[in-house]
Amino acid sequence: MTKNKSIREVALNILESVEKNRAYSNLLLTHAIFQNDFSKKDAGLLTELTYGTLQRKITLDYYLQPFIQRKKIEPWVMHLLRLSVYQFAFLSKIPDHAIIHEAVEIGKKRGHKGIAGFINGVLRSIQRRGLPSIEAIDDPIEKLAIETSHPLWLVKRWIDQYGLEKTTAMCKENIRAPKQTARINRWKTSGDEVFHALKKEGLDVSKSEHLPDAIQSSNGNLATSNAFRNGLLSIQDESSMLVGFAVDPKEGERILDTCSAPGGKTTDVAERMNNTGTVIACDLHPHKLKLIEENKKRLGLANIETVVIDARKASTRFPLESFDCVFVDAPCSGFGVIRRKPEIKYTKTETDIRKLASIQREILHEAAKLVKKGGRLVYSTCTVDKEENEQVAMGFLKNHPDFERDENLAKRLPKSVEPFVQGNSLQLLPQDLQSDGFFIASFQKKV
């Protein structure tokens, strides 16, 4: 992407790249905002257009279908039509004539007069006839899938796992904009100090209702604040912060994070140890560990070591039973973070879920060898799928008789989270705390 493109052209490029290259929308969006040096207002519009169009893709295709029927359309033209219809349907402050004019101009620039004419015809027909009603869909499950833009197979799967009521709430929460939250660097500063510093910078921040040392922002970008640059906070979702509570490290301990990048949980644990002891952060990809090294420096932490290794081979690198706690933030389908990465719901399949659950089992089996007798193994994912979460946790206990359920997990978590704990595991759905969907299970190695 280059400078001097219009907001909608940049949004169109991001939408194309997400689908064509399977790139993550949040990373592309951040890069585009910095590269084009957009104002705060333009960055807000770009974010709305990109996330909104991605989040509502299935709904938008339903709206477009009567107007395009079975015509063969180039992918970029389809993205442009979705982008335009999103504005018709969900943004009230942009006049129809401006939406059509901009789309037609992009059509001329990217294609030719014929394509511009087609785009103009489709959009003017929609303007004249109006969008088809979702209320006309008879099947309640299909209606929910189209209304909230989730694949039908995924909605059916969640209904099988959680029932219709919880699935409906989850689907509706997934199309709401996520809050931006940050974790205070507690060994370096206090929540009050950071709170007042951010207020002085003009950010509209509030303290978390659920977690101590967490801050929410309803405007502005915490990642561009002086408090962030000075290492006083880290951007992290509240549900992700719960791993630090579950691990509950003590000063001087030796902790292993088997799948650490980008390092939010690693640095949380290191801060909880007041910069003492050792946290070894592993990852398969060296370039991802560089992010942890950068954050370690920014946060002033000296107790993190980074190691490039496949978590499934960790016991070839570290002595057996040498860690007080090992935590496995396992690779997963990511269905708990659909609000931040909407493309996930369109690209992941049931086959992916089975493969990921298998990888999780392998990593847990390896990690178990490295936990000291009496130590803890904490397993977490950012998904809501029971095949990855509950079934993997139950399978682990069945196949590892030297471990038992850690029934004290609830006592270590914040009060507002306790109702969601069952035995040694926690499953948060996105609607529970308006956070990411997240799973944590804790196991104790027998003495």
398 is in an annotated binding site: no
* Whole-angstrom distance, CA of residue 403 vs CA of residue 144: 41
Does 382 qualify as catalytic in the annotation?
A: yes
* Whole-angstrom distance, CA of residue 1 vs CA of residue 39: 17
Q: Which amino acid is at 184?
A: I
Which sign, positive or negative, has the C-alpha torsion 417, 420, 423, 424? Answer: negative
Say if residue 25 is exposed, middle or buried (CB neighbours under 10 Å; 0-12, 13-18, 19+): buried
List the strands of the sheet with 205-207, edge to edge. Answer: 205-207, 214-217, 180-184, 233-235
202 is in an annotated binding site: no
Is 253 in contact with 265 (CB distance < 8 Å)? Answer: no
Which one of the listed residues 171, 282, 325, 382 is annotated catalytic?
382
SS3 at position 37: coil
**Per-residue burial over 396-410, b = 16 or more CB atoms within 10 Å of its CB, e = otherwise:** beeebeebeebeebb
265 is in an annotated binding site: yes
In sequence order, what are the beta bridge partners of 308?
283
* Whole-angstrom distance, CA of residue 153 vs CA of residue 170: 15
> Which parts of 56-202 fold into alpha helices (H)?
57-68, 75-90, 96-110, 113-129, 140-147, 152-162, 164-174, 191-200
261 is in an annotated binding site: yes
283 is in an annotated binding site: yes
329 is in an annotated binding site: yes
Q: CB under 8 Å to 318, separation ≥6 — which residues?
A: 256, 280, 370
HSE at residue 348, side-chain half, CA atoms within 13 A, is: 24
436 is in an annotated binding site: no
Return binding residues for S-adenosyl-L-methionine.
Answer: 259-265, 283, 310, 329
Return binding residues.
Answer: 259-265, 283, 310, 329
**Residues belonging to the active site:** 382
